[in-house]
Amino acid sequence: MTNLFSSFDLSTNIMSMNWLSTLIIAMIMPVSFWLIPSRSSWLWNLVLSTLHKEFKLLTGNSSLGTTIMFISVFTIILSNNFLGLFPYIFTSTSHLSFTLTLALPLWVSFMLFGWINNTIHMLAHLVPQGTPPILMPFMVCIETISNVIRPGTLAVRLAANMIAGHLLLTLLGNTGPKLSMILVNILIITQLLLVMLESAVAIIQSYVFAVLATLYSSEVT
C-alpha cells in the first residue's frame, strides 16, 4: 500500500484478484467438515438452529425456507469479517460495493413484494398509529425517507465498522518501529485486545445485518 487509504482506490475494482478472497473460506474448509460429525460441525449446527429459532420469531413463519436466506447472509458476512482479520487477506465487507450488493437486492425484493401483495398494509406503515391529522403529511415524508435509506444504512453500518477497526490497527501498528521496547510490549498487548474486539465486532455486525434484514422482511407481510 502506498498510503493508509490505498485499499479503497480504483485498483480494487470488481475485476481485481483481491475480491477472490471471499472464496477462500470455501477452499480452506475441509470436505470432512460436511461428511464427518465433529465438535466444530456440532457447534455450527447449534448456532444455525439458534438463528433459525430467532428468525422464525421475527418473521412469524416456522418453515426453514423463510430463514435460510438470512442465515446464509449471516454466514457470508461472518466468514468475510473473520477472514479480514488475517494478514494479507482483503476485507471485502469493508467496501460498499460488497455490502450494497447484499443490502440493496434484499430491500428491493421486500419493497416489491410488499407493495404488490400488501399495498394497504404498506400504506398503513407510512402513518404510525395515533398520529394527529395535522402531522400526517410530515410523517408520511419522514417514514418514506427512512424506508428509502434503509439499504444505505445497512451497507454503511457494516462497512464503517469494519473500516474503523482495521484503520485503528494499522495506525497503531505503524508506530511500532519508532517506539521503545517497553512501549512496543504495551502496543502488542493493545493490538491483541483490539483484535479480540474486532472479532466480537465481526460477529455482532453480521448478526445485526441479518436481524435488521429479517425485521424489514417482517414489515411487508
Give domain limits for the chain. Answer: 6-218
Three-point CA angle 18, 10, 106, nearest 5°: 70
- Per-residue pLDDT, averaged over 155-183, amounts to 85
Contact predicate 206/85, CB 8 Å: no
User: Is pLDDT at 10 greater than 50 in this prediction?
Assistant: no
* Least confident window among 140-149, 166-175, 180-189: 166-175
Q: Which residue has the cell 487477506?
A: 89
C-alpha cell at 53: 429459532
Supply the DSSP string of 55-111, one letter for each residue. HHHHHT--STHHHHHHHHHHHHHHHHHHHTTSTT---GGGSHHHHHHHHHHHHHHHH
Q: Residues 94-124: pLDDT tens digits?
A: 888 889 999 999 999 999 988 898 888 888 8
Residue 42, pLDDT score: 84
Q: Which residue has the higher pLDDT, 19 or 11?
A: 19
Contact predicate 60/221, CB 8 Å: yes
Q: Residues 47-89: pLDDT tens digits?
A: 888 998 888 888 876 566 778 889 989 999 998 898 888 877 7
Q: Residues 175-219: pLDDT tens digits?
A: 878 888 888 888 889 999 999 999 999 999 999 999 999 988 888
Contact predicate 1/7, CB 8 Å: yes
The C-alpha atoms of residue 175 and residue 185 are separated, in whole angstroms, by 12
Q: DSSP assignment, residue 2?
A: -
The C-alpha atoms of residue 165 and residue 170 are separated, in whole angstroms, by 9
**CB neighbour class for 152 (10 Å; exposed up to 12, middle 13-18, buried from 19):** middle
Task: Give the predicted TM-score (pTM) of the model.
Answer: 0.83
Share of the chain above pLDDT 70, in %: 88
